[in-house]
Chains A and B, each alone.
Chain A
Amino acid sequence: MTKLITRRSVMAAGAAGLAGTVSTLPISMVQLAFAGTREDVRFTYISDSHIQQIKGASFVRNWDMGLKRAVAEANLIQPEVDFVMFGGDLAQLGKREELDHGAEMLSALKGKLHAVMGEHDYYLDLGEYWSKLYGPQWYSFDVKGVHFVVLNSILTTDEWTFHRWPSAEQRMQEMAGLDNPNGSPFMVGEKQRKWLADDLEKVSKDTPVVVFSHSPLQKIYKGWNFWTDDAEQVQALLAPFKSVNVIYGHVHQIQYNQIGNIAFNSVMATAWPWPYPSTYAQAESHLPVLTVPMNRADPFFERDATGWQLVDVNSGRVTARYQLWDNDQRVVGFDPAAGHPVDKSYQDPMRRKATQAHY
């Protein structure tokens, strides 16, 4: 059963009073324990739905169900969140039908929706239809003293984008295959980095910053594009800020890391989970050592290892509560003493479950 944070559980936590430590508290209390002078900032985060058209009005049922369930559950969150994020890969092959079908499901969400561009949304028409639905591909906004930045991190070279493929359909197909050697490394690109530098110029160095990207703004495994080619340059722009958080989709699995002041959290997909790159015997990956892997997915449970997140930025740092439909919920948040994100239950190897041991 999914454990939602309801008004009732928050009130119960309040009645129990504030506690001094966060590591062993039930999730509903963590929120209160983190609350400082800043007002709570909370948002729901849904990602990687990969709505896939079969033909005409028929779509892959499995992926539809993931997104519908996430939307229904996110709408039950009390008290209401400040906004809703969608982390990219709404469509599977960037088709108008897929984007429309996904957008219709997302339109049931309560509250303001912000969306991030994924490669599956982009490489058919280079983001044209997506932009009609969701507006600019990179921009920033402020909520209760936190500076939020949305980036399009799935761009690549002009040569690959404009000159390599005989048709837009083939370009989309080539980028859609995660393990396809004909793909191309993601990048934010110079134009957007220049924009980011200008945008951050106006922000004081102790304002908490949260950056939303689709690909990790760090290098994990190039073969599956768990990768952003100009990650270091983007990190350099973020480095001067006291408290920076990057939240990314694309990887369909829990990852977290710390590089300097930058804390990284990934989010789950609603469509399907991915194995960790370390399970591919023919390649080396650089999964952050901090990351405690997810349980291995059970293929007999269609929604296993998929889900969505409730995120808060209460201490200026991100805490992500992973709503995992067929697993125990996980909570990954910044531990000020350790100086990096930790899993609130499983960081200690002694407390892990047998199902967390991969092959």
Chain B
Amino acid sequence: MRISMTALALGLGLVAAPALADEFKGTDVQRWQAEYESVAKKGRELWTSGALGTNGVACAQCHPNAANTHPETYPKFQKQFGKVTQLWEMVNWCIKNPLQGQALAADDPKMTAILSYVAYERRGVKLEPGKH
């Protein structure tokens, strides 16, 4: 990738400044993985927490190890919403209903943590968008 970018820059007659943008080391990879894992870990804490909603019920009560959340099938058509939905919309549905809680913004760090945890438990399963 770096080589072809450089070639492209040369081809356009631009000054061939060293392309450092995607140079990274093993320690960077480790850091990124650790960042992801720490957010997924927060997601697990939220998953088992009775404080996410208002009635003390936790996601884990019905979804042990986030089973039956099928992140690999999203976006998909949800009959009850009458449209193609994203995973975070279903997360909010379960927050509002079984947990009697307040919906989270799509980019709320708590939502990111929940989605990170769900994906972590489903790692290795192939993507099947739209599948029911």
Where the two chains meet, the residues of A that have a C-beta atom closer than 8 Å to any C-beta of B are 50, 52-54, 60-62, 177-180, 223-224, 272-275, 277, 279-283, 296-297, 299-300, 302, 359
Contact = CB atoms under 8 A, between A and B. Distances in A.
| Nearest 8 pairs of A and B residues by beta carbon | A179-B64, A275-B68, A275-B67, A178-B64, A300-B80, A280-B67, A179-B65, A279-B67
B98 A177 contact: no
Nearest to A50: B61
A299 B64 contact: no
B63 A275 contact: yes
B122 A299 contact: no
B110 interface: no
Contacts of A279: 67-68
Given A223-B65, A281-B125, A299 B60 contact: no
B97 interface: yes
Given A281-B122, A282-B121, A272 B62 contact: yes
B94 to A, nearest CB: 6
Nearest to A52: B56
Given A60-B56, A299-B93, A359 B70 contact: yes
Q: For the complex, would chain A's binding face be called helix, strand, loop or mixed by DSSP majority?
A: loop
Contacts of B61: 50, 178, 272
A299 B99 CA distance: 12
A277 B70 CA distance: 14
B65 A280 contact: yes
Interface of B: 48, 54-57, 60-65, 67-68, 70, 73, 80, 93-94, 97-98, 121-125, 131
A143 B68 CA distance: 41
B70 A177 contact: no
A299 B124 CA distance: 25
A190 B122 CA distance: 39
Contacts of B57: 52, 60, 62
A282 B64 CA distance: 12
Contacts of B60: 177-179
Contacts of B54: 54
A273 B98 CA distance: 13
A275 B60 CA distance: 11
Nearest to A357: B132
Nearest to A55: B56
B49 to A, nearest CB: 11
Most buried by B among A177, A281, A297: A281
A300 B94 CA distance: 9
Nearest to B94: A299
20 contacts: A50-B61, A52-B55, A52-B56, A60-B55, A61-B55, A62-B98, A177-B60, A178-B64, A224-B64, A272-B61, A273-B62, A280-B67, A280-B121, A281-B123, A282-B123, A282-B124, A283-B65, A299-B93, A299-B94, A359-B73
Contacts of A54: 54-56
A97 to B, nearest CB: 13
B62 to A, nearest CB: 5
Contacts of A302: 97-98
A60 B63 CA distance: 17
A274 B62 contact: yes
B74 to A, nearest CB: 12
Contacts of A359: 70, 73, 131
A270 B62 CA distance: 13
